[in-house]
Chains A and B, each alone.
Chain A
């Protein structure tokens, strides 16, 4: 199901763990969706000196987290904010379509950690994430996947009410 790059990052994930006294922490996902990603960053001179993560999720979620941490490490904050869903998928040399939402989550979690850091710099408590965390990104709701679409809406309702 997964290519070699994805399997490599899944079986040997880079930068797993937490950073004590991290400069920024960002978390996305919920257990109902199947994935939770938490990113920790250490910032020095506007550069991501260290990036670590903890992830609950499938093989793709773990590989995505690992890849995002690698892409981000050593980048400036502005550069790291440019890491997108698509660039993570490219770096992993592709993910199965139904796993594309995992790559969204990885970039989101990193961006949230950066926003957390920036808010702290300004002396504000970071309270409102830039995108809604409790929504199950559901690629099967994508109208292009007509086969599953008829049954998806009710399934989405069910898991979001739980």
Chain B
């Protein structure tokens, strides 16, 4: 059976060039960058090159890139390290109500330690209003953290505008850009951010490696104390293999980003246009145009996401959903609830995240496979019956 991966947010394939670049570091180049001898030096040189490439991807300086174990660590570090270093300024944090768990739960932990939190609402498209940020800033605001884009809804936030406000008011500003770096052009100068989290897999690098951009002059304390790796800001022997892979993936992303966007956008547009044309009562999630190019987020009424995903999986189609039954916490996506989507509708969430490996044939297959699955589940659903409609032939 043909496998169609439209769940790139969970896992994107690692580019063969990236694997090739990594292999020597699994074999002969196993040195520790901290060693003073030649084995360490050759690894350090390769790591420095990788850092330059990652920096170039977001228009930062290499010395502003700190490698981490991924987006979760980068987000935790930005919040905890940022607030700790700025505690003289105050203990007020501004964030949004649609953040990733690695921000949301880190903030819950900080709240228990006395940090005061303002969670800004979003509108029906999922946008944070920069004016709300302006109004929320107080003299004790020590940090603002608002994500660049949420993969569940695809909407891209007005980060540059929020960054301008933060700059004017002299408040450090962090953005979680895991969903955007390598997917759309991201420039830390244009965005006016002081810190930015990124991870390698979305741009076809390996899992388990990410980075935090920390603008020169931004106060931050280490999250992990220990040796003097990463300038003493992130202790622990470097994940050389991951760093090399991330560097190679960044190098390729710089030249390929426009092609990738041009590749996934028309496929995404087909899904967004053609699914509602063949299945009744399908809703859009997020903004129609100011969104991630490969992201189609939909809700199918009267059916639940997990059961759709299971049937799709049997036919080789791999996608995601924000349904409660999918999540480990058994709760409907807080992101969709924050946008005003009711919990029942959100249960029917379907999330397609496309990548370079997807084709028009993949979209054709999804359009063929999905409608009978939806009809089958709707025929079983007590909610569908109650609407008393005449069912469309599938």
Contacts of A158 in B (CB 8 A): 331, 334, 337
Q: Is A47 among interface residues, defined by CB-CB distance under 8 A?
A: no
In the complex, the answer to whether B330 meets A139 with C-beta atoms within 8 Å is yes
Say whether B266 faces chain A, with CB atoms less than 8 Å apart.
no
Q: Least Cβ distance of A137 to chain B in Å?
A: 9
Residues of B with C-beta under 8 A to A13 = 380
Q: CB-CB contacts of B311-348 with A at 8 A, as 1s and 0s?
A: 10010000000011100111110100100001111010
Candidates B108, B325, B337, B384; contact of A162 at CB < 8 Å = B337
Q: Are B385 and A31 in contact (CB under 8 A)?
A: no
User: Are A155 and B331 CB-contacts (below 8 A) given A16-B380, A56-B304?
Assistant: yes
A27 to chain B, nearest CB (A): 7
Q: CB distance B307 to A18 under 8 Å?
A: no
Q: How far does the alpha carbon of A16 sit from the alpha carbon of B324 in the complex, in Å? A: 23
The answer to whether A32 and B304 touch across the interface, beta carbons within 8 angstroms, is: no
Indicate with 1 or 0, residue by residue over A28-58, a CB within 8 angstroms of chain B CB atoms: 0011111111100000000000000011111
* Most central of A31, A98, A99, A162 by chain B CB within 10 Å: A31
CB-CB nearest in chain B for A65: B380
Cross-interface CB contact of B344 among A32, A55, A59, A151, cutoff 8 Å:
A32
Name the residue of chain A whose CB is nearest to the CB of B310.
A59
Query: How would you classify the secondary structure of chain B's contact residues: helix, strand, loop or mixed?
Result: helix
CB < 8 Å: which of A37, A54, A150, A159 contacts B343? A159
- Known A32-B343, A162-B342; contact A155-B329, beta-carbon cutoff 8 A: yes
| CB of A51, distance to nearest CB on chain B (Å) | 15
Query: CB-defined interface of A56-83 with B at 8 Å, one 1/0 digit per residue?
Result: 1111111000000000000000000000
CA distance A30 to B334 in the complex (A): 17
Chain B residues with CB under 8 Å of A55's CB are: 380-382
Please name the residue on chain A nearest to B305 by beta carbon. A58
B302 CB–A CB distance under 8 Å: yes
Asked whether A19 is an interface residue with its Cβ less than 8 Å from the other chain, the reply is: no
**Complex partner residue of B332 from A27, A32, A152, CB under 8 angstroms:** A32
Which A residues lie within 8 Å of B344 (CB)? 30-32
Report, as a range, how many residues of chain B touch the other chain.
20 to 34
Cα(A60)–Cα(B326), bound, Å? 11
The one of A33, A62, A101, A151 that contacts B380, using a Cβ cutoff of 8 Å? A62
Total residue contacts A-B, CB cutoff 8 A: 102
A11 lies within 8 A of chain B by Cβ = yes
Q: How far is the CA of A151 from the CA of B383 in the complex (A)?
A: 30
Distance (whole angstroms) from the CB of B105 to the closest CB of chain A = 6
Residue A117 CB within 8 A of the other chain: no
Contact B329 A140 (CB under 8 A): yes
A66 to B324 CA separation, bound complex (whole angstroms): 21
* A-chain residues with CB within 8 Å of residue B342 when the two chains form the complex: 31, 162
Kindly state whether residue A135 has any CB partner on chain B within 8 Å: no
What residues on A are CB-neighbors of B383 within 8 Å? Answer: 31, 36, 56
A151 in complex: contacting residue of B108, B347, B381, CB < 8 Å: B108
Give the distance to chain B from A95, nearest Cβ to Cβ, in Å: 12
Q: Does B152 belong to the interface (CB within 8 Å)? A: no
B272 → chain A, closest Cβ, in Å?
24
In the bound complex, how far is the Cα of B105 from the Cα of A151, in angstroms?
Answer: 7
Q: CB-CB < 8 A to A38: which residues of B?
A: 382
Interfacial chain B residues near A154, Cβ < 8 Å = 108
CB neighbours of B74 from chain A (8 A): none
A150 touching B108, Cβ below 8 Å: yes
**Per-residue interface assignment for chain A, residues 12 to 28, with 1 indicating a CB less than 8 Å from any chain B CB and 0 otherwise:** 01001010000000010
A139 to B332, CA, bound (A): 15
Indicate if the CB atoms of A56 and B381 lie closer than 8 Å.
yes
Chain A CB within 10 A, most for which of B329, B330, B331: B330
Within 8 A of B (CB), among A107-162: 136, 138-140, 148, 150-152, 154-156, 158-159, 162
Interface string of B372-394 (1 = CB under 8 A from A): 00000001111111000000000
Bound-state Cα–Cα, A32 to B344, Å: 5
* Cα–Cα distance between A84 and B130 once the two chains are bound (Å): 53
Distance of A99 Cα from B325 Cα, bound (Å): 8
Q: Are B307 and A62 in contact (CB under 8 A)?
A: yes
Q: Which of B302, B328, B347, B379 contacts A34 (CB 8 A)?
A: B347
Separation of A154 and B311 alpha carbons in the complex (Å): 32
Whether, in the assembled complex, B306 has its beta carbon less than 8 Å from a beta carbon of chain A, the answer is: yes
Contacts of B345 in A (CB 8 A): 31
Q: Is B382's CB under 8 angstroms from A36's CB?
A: yes
Sampled A-B contacts (17; CB under 8 Å): A2-B310, A32-B343, A34-B304, A34-B332, A54-B382, A54-B385, A56-B302, A56-B347, A57-B325, A58-B306, A60-B325, A61-B325, A62-B380, A98-B328, A152-B329, A155-B331, A155-B334
